[in-house]
Structure 1
Amino acid sequence: MLYLGKMSVDIKGKQQQQEAKRLHWFSGLFVVLSITGFVNWLFFPLPPFIEQLLSLVHALAGFIFSVVFCFYTLSHFRRTLGFRRPVILSIGLVLALMVLYLVVSGHLLIFTGVLERLSWLRDSHLWLSLVTVLLIVIHVLCHYLTFPERRKLVVPSRFVTLSPAINRTIFKTITLATVAALIVLMLDNITKAPPEDVSIDDYQYDYGASPFAPSLAQTKNNEFIRKRDIAGSMNCIGCHQASGEQWLASAHRHAADDPTYVRNVNLLQKSKGLSATRYCEGCHSPVALLTGQLTAGGQHAGVAGTVANLEGVGCMSCHGIRSLTSAEGVASYHFTPRSDYLFEHSSSPVLSFINEQLIKLRPALHKKELLPDVQKTSQYCGSCHSQFMDKSMNNWGWVKMQDEYQAWATSKFNLAKDPRFIHPQSKQCQDCHMEKIAGEDMAADSDGKINSHYFVGANVMLARQFGNEELYDLTVDFLQQDKVNLTIEPPEDKLSRQNPLYVSSEQRTVQNYPVALYRGKQAKITVLVSNQGVGHNFPGGAIDLSEAWIDFDIYDGAGQLVYSRGDLLANGEIEPLATVYKEVAIDRFGKEVWRHDLFNMVGRSYVNVIPSGSTDIVNFEFDIPDWATSPLTISATLKLRKLNQPYHDWVNEQEKIKENPIIDIARDAIKVPLLKTPAVMSEKQNSLGEE
């Protein structure tokens, strides 16, 4: 019996020793977690390097802590559940559940990242950590105040201090954490990719001191950008899958390999040299411009297979812009590379994974640098969607070209310009062209939505060119959302007879009087085209290339064509008498600049657009033949295509365009009875003729 009792005591003593060791590590790791977590929170923002280092140590300590916690909790509750201390036991149970939640939520945060839609997980992890620290202090105090001396695992030297063993363990743990941090620093330094040589010998400064002129793009000290700091959009898709997949289909992605651009930039290079292509590439391919490719020996983005050609306007091309240099356009932005996280550009799969997780875990720096407030403004879009040409390019003088920003700035979608035309909500470009849509993405908001990176506009040609049917359907739907409305005004019947019946004034205001047209007479039909929902002129963009027009047709009751305007000719061009919304640019000799060779443009011979909030009134006058039968069916359709036929055919000489779709934007139709001319009118006309 004595032997069994002694054996039992020895076993119990060994269990207590094991639990004590686990308590030491539990305490040490908990202190490290508290320090790294609360320092990052209380002193935010810290220098990025320290912030990431603390987060990495916090994550590594958390993994080890989760294992120690499981073993310590099991042994601790196995030993203490029989104690008759309900307060301490209750606090211990609550603590165990809270620490378990912290362990689980911490692991989720490490692997999923700090997502906006899961912000409650981050907040609960933080605030519950504070409560846990407080409860642990209370739990320990209650332990030393109420437990008998013989049951205490550790006898404190003072009332509120931990044992020397725990103190030593905490010291060891902090030391290990420090060593781990030094190892991380060493690994980060060793695995860094060698710096790229961005110096370029014999660079051609043909347009002034700026290496990026004649574009207005700027960098710090006008230095060239490393390719890795602006290219590599495919790396972004790993975290931003929905945004990346949309971008792959967008006109931004295809800004450089668009066959119309390739043909045009080749013309510019042939006419004025490679350095002149900087004018275009600042917006169509910042990769080529900012890395210094556009000089002798380099290649512009129209060359298939180059990084610039594959990127077009890539992720960093937009998200690397943190400020604007002016509102003039032609790439009037300042590009700044983002800061590197730990193990950035490492070739090791493990370290690359850690780098991705750090970005997810500490996204504040990433978001601050890549999504500044300026990117939410219309002026930001205007840095490329506004354009001018000066004497350095056209050897003539300053010429204003497309300017979507100015058109928006004077519209009802900006600040109120006229109390009669105030939109209920001011809108930026992004509100229409980057609408919120559902998407599985790290950047998704609390509703699981992201800003669309399809950049839906009017370019249905590119969507079909690269087989992006979803984008094609979205674009067609976007164009047909009644942003531009077409209405046929009912014709006036000047021959209608007086009604002998009395009609009150109230009835007269709502009475639709019957209207008729007459055989053998001339008639006039008015069509109203209203730009009520576009935030800039309609059409917008390069309107010397695109064209919108009214297809107007009248058929009689037997289906015979009575009158037509706006048909396509056999060669695909619009008939000359049609109402067309476009621009005709001219050179110094008055000839049309029809190949989009804007370096020859000095003015315009024709411009027809509809400003935002305005209505164009178009009258169609025609003779009604005697053979026409009643009723007349009058229809009008507003059509749009990206490329006019001459430019389309010119591009097709070298670059194959699969399709140039024509989209029906708006349509209206009415039926009008057709009558024989009344005798009274015939007699009146005859008498007038005799006189």
Structure 2
Amino acid sequence: MLYLELMGLDIEGKQQQLEAKRLHWFSGLFVVLSITGFVNWLLFPLAPFLEQLFSLIHAVAGVLFSLVFCFYILSHFRRTLAFRRPVILTIGLILSLVMFSLVVSGYLLVFSGVPERLIWLKDAHLWLSLVTVFLLFGHVLFHYFTFPERRKLVAPSRFVTLTPAINSTVFKTLTLTTVAALLVLMLDNITKVPVEGVYIEDYQYNYGASPFAPSLAQTKNNEFIRKRDIAGSRECIGCHQASGEQWLASAHRHAADDPTYVRNINLLQKSRGTSATRYCEGCHAPVALLTGQLTAGGQHAGVPGTVANVEGVGCMSCHGIRSITGAEGVASYYFSPRSDYLFEHSSNPVLSFVNEQLIKLRPALHKQELLPSVQKTSQYCGSCHSQFMDKSMNNWGWVKMQDEYQAWAASKFNQGKDARFTHPENKQCQDCHMQKVAGQDMAADSEGKISSHYFVGANVMLARQFGNEELYQLTVDFLQQDKVNLVIVPPKDRFSRQSFSYASSGQGTGENSPVAFYRGEQANITLLVNNRGVGHNFPGGAIALKEAWIDLDIYDGAGQLVYSRGDLLANGEIEPLATVYKEVAIDRFGKEVWRHDLFDIVGRSYLNVIPSGSTDIVNFEFDIPDWATSPLSISATLKLRKLNQKYHDWVNEQEEVKGNPIVDIARDAIKVPLSKAPVVIAEEKRHLSVQ
């Protein structure tokens, strides 16, 4: 208490007594701020609840301290400016400026929180605190050692009267702080809204001991999750506005109210019972699965208006995943709720505001729990973007279905070529589907960017279905980024070659290309479809539903159609002879499972995809009529649509699916001149006819 005694040496009269009282509170609050700040720095992450408590006390004490500081510093300088002690006056002025900066930074932190882009402000507040302590002790010590001897003679009597008062004030302040902490704890317990269990009694265990089977989802002791611990995504938008608005338009948000999903989940529930829907809802609607709704008497997410239907794959559905339990997919994740902050779920608006500010002020726990390192890996995405069926579901045997994770693991984007390890140069799923974009958000980095929560992929149908033209255009642009390209190989003329002689060692021999096609002859065109930029097979996902195909058109110089493949028929289906990239799933009787009845699938009769980094070589042979004029215009387009027309029409029987948009992913075109067939061709034809 030496500093406090010294600062009270010159206090006389009423003004001095008022300053002394301010000094008492100044000292007491400064001690509280120092203790809570230091304890907070030591506690995390050992005691996050105490960290929040001390943060709240620190913030309240800081506000009170700022008020006392303003009044005290004014009266203190008014009294001491006349003293001819320039060094200590300079230190005092610097100390005042530093403390003022400390107060301002504290206010900014209390109200803005500590977003990623303002980490520097938190660091500045910490350093200002250390500088304040250093300058304060320097100010006190210098005051002590340079205090005039003649004035020290009267000091003892004042020390005796002032010291007990200051000590008493500090003690009272600490006592009040302790009482306030206890009141906060009591208030936190009193204001908690009672939580009712949402799981259904007499829960059916039709697929084994796990309540979530046949999905592979897990929780602690396989207990059900309270709805409030996994739902309520719109509450997150208050702080994460940009991410939330993007999520509202995304395929994740519409994973459960997508008309195609609603039609299929209702079909599954009708044919196999509600418990069978756990297979789908572990990924499409974790809220319904993990809260214990998926049993007889419960409601699956295909029921409009239910929380699971509205949420789809919500914020906590992804951010509550702490680890991945395997590479099989079908919701192979471990879910754990996040820890509650003080006044979590309070119905009082003031306490709810305090709760939000605490999360903003101390986001480390929030970030630690909701952004584990596994969320930055492709295996994390693979927990849902991979599928299989086994005998318990199809009553047949184990069948591998879509598997984006293993396709990525075998690609050039996985440098380690081993799914168990992460190579530093790997390009993960998130690098393509969650690219950095500008956004006003608590999670924005120092450049003001966030990871896109549009999760842009190939689902143009869903963006159009829910009327989000911005997302639709983003999806089209994403598909047209030359990740998959198409090249028409220039045709060769077997009757025209370069000379075998050459002028220099740097020139070799080869064929000219192209020269011409010949009327009345059969021609051949080769197309190369290169999957050079997609991190998995093309197409990916539920390829029994989507289609990619080559649309080839050849016209002569007069605009007359010479040849075409890949046209749409009157009913919207692709002509049978087209080159199509898709899958045809079949049941045990060899019939196509075109309605996406997953539990009936036992294999496939057709599969045509292009692995990542591979090229598909497609040949077309066609006859050139005698009437064709030169040149031939050859154009090829690689097209994609989310739903094949047959499935689209079936869904549209009950739900209004707004169109079935087709995207032109890549195209190429060349012109080839036409000529009269050379004599040598006529001779060959005559020779063949004689034979």
2:453 is paired with a residue whose SS is: coil
Report the equivalent of 1:178.
178
In 1, distance between residues paired with 2:87 and 2:45?
40
- Offset from partner CA, 1:627-666 (integer Å, 9 cap, x none): 0000101011000000001100100011110011100000
Label 1:160 to 1:416 Cα distance change in 2 as closer, same or farther (>3 A).
farther
For residue 5 of structure 2, what is the aligned residue in structure 1?
A: none
Matched AA of 1:279 = Y
SS, match of residue 636 in structure 2: strand
How far the C-alpha of 1:195 sits from its partner, in A, is: 2.4
In 1, Cα distance between equivalents of 2:363 and 2:639: 46
Contact map agreement 1:156 1:162 (CA 8 A) in 2: no
2:71 corresponding residue in structure 1: 71
* 1:356 to partner: Cα distance: 0.2
Equivalence for 1:451: 451
Separation of aligned partners in 1, 2:56 and 2:425? 44
Matched residue, 2:25: 25
Change in Cα spacing, 1:145 to 1:665, as seen in structure 2 (3 Å) is same
SS in 1 for 2:558: coil
Cross-structure match for 2:414: 414
Task: Show the 5 A alignment for 1:530-549.
Answer: 530-549=530-549
Report SS of the residue matched to 2:444.
Answer: coil
> Which residue number corresponds to residue 3 of structure 2?
none
The residue number in structure 2 matching 1:168 is 168
Matched ranges for 1:322-341 at <5 A: 322-341=322-341
Aligned residue for 2:231? 231
Worse overlay, 310-319 or 498-507? 498-507
- Other-structure match for 1:565: 565
CA-CA distance at 1:162 after TM superposition: 8.6
Q: Distance in 1 between matches of 2:51 and 2:438?
A: 32
**Secondary structure of the corresponding residue to residue 638 of structure 2:** strand
SS of residue in 2 equivalent to 1:163: helix
Task: Give 3-state SS (helix, strand or coil) of 2:110's partner.
Answer: helix
Instruction: Map 1:283-432; keep pairs closer than 5 Å.
Output: 283-417=283-417, 425-432=425-432
Letter in 1 for 2:676: K
Structure 1 residues 158, 384: closer, same or farther in 2, change over 3 A?
farther
With 188-197 and 454-463 compared, the bigger mean Cα shift is at 188-197
Write the letter of the residue equivalent to 1:430: Q
Q: State which drifts further: 171-180 or 284-293.
A: 171-180
1:24 to partner: Cα distance:
1.1
2:204 aligned partner: 204
Bigger Cα displacement from structure 2, 680-689 vs 213-222: 680-689
Give the structure 2 partner of residue 434 of structure 1.
434
SS of 1:87's equivalent in the other structure is: helix
**Does the aligned pair in 2 maintain the 1:523–1:621 contact within 8 Å?**
yes
Q: Which amino acid aligns with 2:54?
A: L
| SS at structure 1 position matched to 2:524 | strand
Q: Check the 8 A contact 1:322/1:336 in 2, yes or no.
A: yes
User: Matches of 1:71 and 1:256 in 2, distance apart?
Assistant: 59
C-alpha deviation, 1:507, in angstroms: 4.8
Give 2:616's aligned residue: 616
1:98 to 1:151, Cα distance in 2 relative to 1, 3 A: farther
What does residue 5 of structure 1 align with?
Answer: none
2:384 partner letter? C
The residue identity in structure 2 corresponding to 1:239 is: C
**Post-superposition shift, 1:686?**
2.8
Cα deviation 1:209-236 (Å, max 9, x = unaligned)? 1111111111111111110000000000
- 2:394 partner letter: N
Question: Following TM superposition, by how much is the alpha carbon of 1:540 offset from its aligned partner in structure 2, in angstroms?
Answer: 0.2
Q: Give the Å deviation of 1:498.
A: 5.8
- 1:527 aligned onto 2:556: no
Letter in 2 for 1:625: P
User: Could you say if the C-alpha distance between residues 500 and 22 of structure 1 is closer, same or farther in structure 2, counting changes exceeding 3 Å?
Assistant: closer
Is contact 2:530-2:613 (8 Å) kept? Answer: yes
Separation in structure 2 between the aligned mates of residue 56 and residue 424 of structure 1, nearest angstrom: 40
The equivalent of 2:589 in structure 1 is: 589
Residue 13 of structure 1 corresponds to 13
Paired residue for 1:106?
106
What amino acid maps onto 1:549 in structure 2?
W
Report the counterpart of residue 630 of structure 1 in structure 2.
630
User: What secondary structure, in the 3-state scheme, does the structure 1 residue paired with 2:195 have?
Assistant: coil
User: Following the alignment from structure 1 to structure 2, what is the Cα–Cα distance between the partners of residues 43 and 204?
Assistant: 44
- Work out the CA distance in 1 between the residues paired with 2:363 and 2:488: 54
Change in Cα spacing, 1:445 to 1:74, as seen in structure 2 (3 Å) is: same
> How far off is 1:317 after superposition?
0.4
Secondary structure of the residue aligned to 2:356 is helix
Q: What is the rounded CA distance, in whole Å, between the counterparts of 1:25 and 1:548 in structure 2? A: 74
8 Å CA contact 2:550–2:636 kept in 1: the answer is yes
SS of 1:415's equivalent in the other structure is coil
| Contact 1:630 1:674 (8 Å CA) reproduced | yes
SS at structure 2 position matched to 1:172: helix
Q: Deviations over 1:372-392 (max 9, x none)?
A: 111111111111101011111
Give the structure 2 partner of residue 6 of structure 1: none
SS of alignment partner, residue 412 of structure 1:
coil
- For residues 525-584 of structure 1, give each alpha carbon's deviation from its aligned partner in whole angstroms, at most 9, with x where no partner exists: 000001000000000000000010000110000111000000000000000000000000
Distance 1:259 1:67, change over 3 A: same
Partner of 2:463 in structure 1?
463
Cα distance in 2 for partners of 1:513, 1:285 equals 56
CA RMSD of aligned residues (A): 2.3
CA contact (8 A) 1:547 1:580 kept: yes
Aligned counterpart, 1:495:
495
Hey, what does 1:267 align to over in structure 2? 267
Distance, in Å, in 2 between the alignment partners of 1:607 and 1:163 is: 88
Residue type of the partner of 1:335?
F
- Map 1:100-139; keep pairs closer than 5 Å: 100-139=100-139
Q: Deviations over 1:375-423 (max 9, x none)?
A: 11111111110101111111111111000001001111002559xxxx9
CA distance in 2 between partners of 1:68 and 1:150 (Å): 31
Give the aligned partner of residue 3 of structure 1: none
- The aligned residue for residue 481 of structure 1 is 481
Change (3 A) 1:621 1:438: same
Equivalence map 1:655-666=2 (5 Å): 655-666=655-666
**Residue-by-residue CA offset, 1:244-293 (whole Å, 9 max, x unaligned):** 00000000000000000000001101110111101100000000011111
* Structure 1 outlier segments of 4+, above 3 Å: 148-162, 497-514, 687-691
User: 1:165–1:155: structure 2 CA closer, same or farther, 3 Å change rule?
Assistant: farther
Q: CA deviation at 1:496?
A: 2.0
Q: Say if 1:162 and 1:683 are closer, same or farther in 2 by CA, change over 3 A.
A: farther
**Structure 2: unaligned runs, 5 residues or longer:** 1-9
Contact conserved, 1:191 with 1:343, CA < 8 A, in 2?
yes
Task: Return closer, same or farther for 1:645/1:152 CA change in 2, 3 Å cut-off.
Answer: farther
Alpha-carbon contact 1:157-1:163 (below 8 Å) kept: no
Q: Structure 1 pair 670/145, CA: closer, same or farther in 2 (3 Å)? A: same
* Cα deviation, residue 118, structure 1: 1.1
Query: Structure 2 length normalisation: TM-score?
Result: 0.95
Q: Would the aligned equivalents of 2:320 and 2:370 in 1 still touch at CA under 8 Å?
A: yes
**Structure 2 counterpart SS, 1:203:** coil
- Distance in 2 between residues matched to 1:633 and 1:229, nearest whole Å: 61
Task: Return the alpha-carbon distance in structure 2 between the equivalents of residues 197 and 79 of structure 1.
Answer: 65
Taking the TM superposition and a 5 Å limit, the aligned residue runs for 1:31-110 are 31-110=31-110
Are positions 1:245 and 2:269 aligned together? no
- 1:404 maps to amino acid: E
Do the aligned partners of 1:20 and 1:153 also contact (CA within 8 Å) in 2?
no
Answer whether contact 1:582 1:608 (CA < 8 A) is retained.
yes
> Secondary structure of 1:411's partner?
coil
After TM superposition, give the deviation of residue 163 of structure 1 in Å: 2.4
Hey, what's the Cα distance between the residues in 2 that align with 1:64 and 1:505? 88
How far, CA to CA, are the matches of 2:15 and 2:161 in structure 1? 24
